[in-house]
Structure formats: C-alpha cells, structure tokens
Amino acid sequence: MWDWFKDWIFSIIQFFYGFCHDWGLAIIIITVLFRILVAPLMHKQAKSNYQMQKIQPKIQDLQKRYANDPQRQQEEMQKLYAEAKFNPLAGCLPMLLQMPIFVALFQVLREMGQREEVQDYCFYNIVPNLVMTPQQALEVGFGTFVPYVILMVIFAGATFLPMVMMQLKSENTQQRNQTLIMGGVMSLFMLWISWSSPAGVLLFWGASSLIGIAQNQITLAMCRKEDARKEEEQVIEVKPVEVNVTRKEKKKRPTKKK
C-alpha cells in the first residue's frame, strides 16, 4: 500500500514534468500544490502558535505562583486556556496529519535515482543532478558544488526561521535567547543531514519551508489585524458618551403696542 502511494506521487511528478520538461520545476510545482493542500492545517497551527505566544507571560506567572501545587497549577492552566480559547493540541494535530504526505514525498525524492525509467534528473542549468548529494558534488568540483551549498543553506536556515522570527518580538529575554541558541544548533544539525541528502530533497524542503514562512506571516498579519479590530471595538464601547448641551434661546417677549 505504501509503495503504491509513493509510485502514485512519482507519477504526479512525471505528469508535471511532461508539461514543463524539467524535474526541478516539477518538484517545485508539487511542493506548491502540497502547501496549498495543507494550507488550512498550517493556518490553524500558526494561529495556535500566535495564541500561545500571547498567553505565554500568564502561563509563566501561573508556573511561578503555583510552583509547589501542581494540581492547582494544572487547574489554573485549564481555566486560562478556556478563557483564551486556546487548544494545546491545535498546534500538533496539523503537523501529524500532513506527515504521511511529507514522508512519502521525501522517500520518493530520495529513491528517484533507483528508478530505471529515468536517468537524467536536472533543474535547468542550476542543479545538474537532483539525485546527487552535496558530498558527491564536491568530489566532482567546486563549480558543481556551489548550487548544492545554496540548497543546503536554504534547507537548514528556512527550517527554523519561523520559530526564530516569532521569538524576536518576545518580551522574555531568557526564552528568546534559548530559542535562538536552539535554532542555531538545530540549523547546524540540518546542515549535517543535508550533506548526504539528494538535491531533490533539499529543493523540495527548501521551497516548502519558504512557502511555509510566507503562509505563516500572512496568518500572523491576519491575527494582529483581528486583535487591533477587537481593541478598537472595546475602546468604542467604554468611551463615555458625550452630550452637547445647548442653551435654549430665550423667547423674545412681545412688545406692547402703544
């Protein structure tokens, strides 16, 4: 069943290759379609992360206040989640639902070189061989290795860029610094993984991450706009009503006729 699913995905890539006559562009088209497919899930995930960022100071306050009473802390956490209309599972569920598609695409791109029906996988004149890894490209020559380095940097940097961008506006300096350090360490780890990954995988993951960053920023902009609208409505509701009191004009007394 799983092999059939992977063959079906490869057939879709071949279908788009028939239109554009380039394997790299076909992979990018598939990536865009994949991102459109999971866009509603990613929107919910980004919205959940935004809500979590907003209530993070209150969560930390509860953790300090009830540090010696875990049961009371949990109860207060649940009340806070209910008031903020925040579901902790909302950020994890979208990721779990899209994982089968991502894993299948990842495996298909890694196994493209094993398919006998196609021998030449290239991305125009930019990447000569999408099956080749950066390690293999360096053995060919530095000129061949350059585009693979660019894919490696995009692959590593774009993976954790959304997390870092969100923490840059955080008021918690300690948490922000920890996140930046963790993002840097994980980016180095991704560079190590990309060293032995085919260029097709790096192209897919890099393009997917960049599109994901754009989707995330759009969602955050929508959330901030919604918060600003609610704040304006609250200001209007609490603003006292101003009543203009005008003096009535005195009626002129009729003049007595002589």
Proportion of the chain above pLDDT 70, given as a percent? 79
In a domain, 161, yes or no: yes
Owning domain of residue 7? 1-226
- Give Cα separations from 247 to 19, 244, 250, 253 (angstroms): 80, 10, 9, 17
Task: Give the per-residue pLDDT at 95.
Answer: 66
1: confidence class by pLDDT, cuts 50, 70, 90:
confident
Whether 57 maps to a domain, the answer reads yes
217 inside domain:
yes
> Is residue 256, in this structure, part of any structural domain at all?
no
Using the Cα atoms of residue 32, residue 36, residue 41 and residue 44 in order, give the sign of their dihedral: positive
Q: Is 80 exceeded by the pLDDT of residue 26?
A: yes
Residue of 137, 79, 92, 104 whose CA lies nearest to 204 = 104
Q: Is the pLDDT of residue 92 over 70?
A: no
Mean pLDDT, residues 182-210 taken together: 85
Q: Number of structural domains, the chain?
A: 1
Q: Looking at the domain assignment, is residue 15 inside a domain?
A: yes
Kindly report, residue by residue over 37-88, the tens digit of the pLDDT: 888 888 888 887 788 777 877 887 888 888 888 888 888 888 888 777 777 6
Given a cut of 60, is residue 241 above it in pLDDT?
no
Residue 250 lies inside a defined structural domain of this protein: no
At residue 121, the pLDDT reads 79
Please state, in angstroms and as integers, the Cα–Cα distance from residue 212 to each residue in 27, 161, 180, following that order.
16, 10, 19
In a domain, 235, yes or no: no
- Domain annotation covers residue 107: yes
How far apart are the C-alpha atoms of 237 and 253, rounded to whole Å?
45
